[in-house]
Amino acid sequence: MTVSIDFEHDYQHKLMTQSFKEPTILATLADVQAWRSAWMGALSSWHSPYKVLVDCRNLEVSTAPEVLQALDLMVKFFNGFFLRKIIGYSDVEGRDYGQLPFPVLVSAEAAAIELGVRTPKDRAPSDFRSTIQLQNHFQQHVVELNFSEPVLLATKEQLQVLRSKLMNNLMQWHSKWSLIIDCTNLEVAPEAYADLTKLLTVLKGFFLKKAIGYSPKGAKEAYPFEVFRARHRAAAALEAEGSFSGDDADCKSRKA
């Protein structure tokens, strides 16, 4: 059993947001365990106390005693891993969340106030921010960027969101780093080329050494950074600078 949860990490404000991306019913112990496992995986990037905001609009919970007990034990378990407070929110009429081991308020704004954190944007899972995915390779001093859906980077608003997410991720870094970008789902509009170049220049002021891409969706010239056809070639280019291990470049194109 798996659950589809979008985890958003705001390290600056010590807030983890969890959103169920599709209708989910916690009806068995396996369902609760799937949530717990997904949460534990998301927690691997945290090294400090944090609070959790849960979007419960797609969530329903069984009243079976064993499920309620498992949920209670799950929250107590994470309290031992520096969870300071958890609150949910939902505006779905007629749905009872009283069986959850944490309060569920009527809006994200009300829940954020109760948590004592900044008010989050109420966003749909399909918006631009949620498509941005970052993976940290601390040993290799590399951040890997990819997009879960096709993206045309064209507006200043998109670039501001991208900058915000990259800067937030850098809260975990204390050393120089390089950026490797999966361009499979990324296109850059001509009008955004200069602004993306400026963003990369700004990041160099935050210890970015080099930005490099692979698997271009369009022409290589359409990106304001060097782009290779395969991931392992991009990794090799960074490896030549002592920034990445070729052993981590596990892609099908290596066998092509």
DSSP 155-196: -HHHHHHHHHHHHHHGGG--S-EEEEEE-TTEEE-HHHHHHH
Q: How far apart are CA 19 and CA 4, in angstroms?
A: 8
How many residues does this entry show for the chain?
A: 256
CB atoms within 10 A of CB 43: 17
pLDDT digits (tens, 9 = 90+) for 231-247: 989 988 888 765 554 34
Q: What is the pTM of this model?
A: 0.60
Residue 249: its pLDDT value, please?
39
Residue 157, strand partner residues: none
**Residue appearing with tokens 């009527």:** 106
Query: How far apart (Å, rounded) are the C-alpha atoms in residues 181 and 186?
Result: 9
Helix axes 65-79, 29-42, angle to 10 degrees: 20
How confident is the model at residue 104, as a pLDDT? 95
What burial class does residue 18 get, using C-beta atoms within 10 Å of its C-beta: 0-12 exposed, 13-18 middle, 19+ buried? buried
pLDDT of residue 27: 93
The pLDDT > 70 percentage for the chain reads 89
CA atoms within 13 A on the CB side of 164: 12
Element (H, E) at 17: strand 15-20
Domains parsed from the chain with CATH numbers: 5-115 (3.30.750), 128-255 (3.30.750.24)
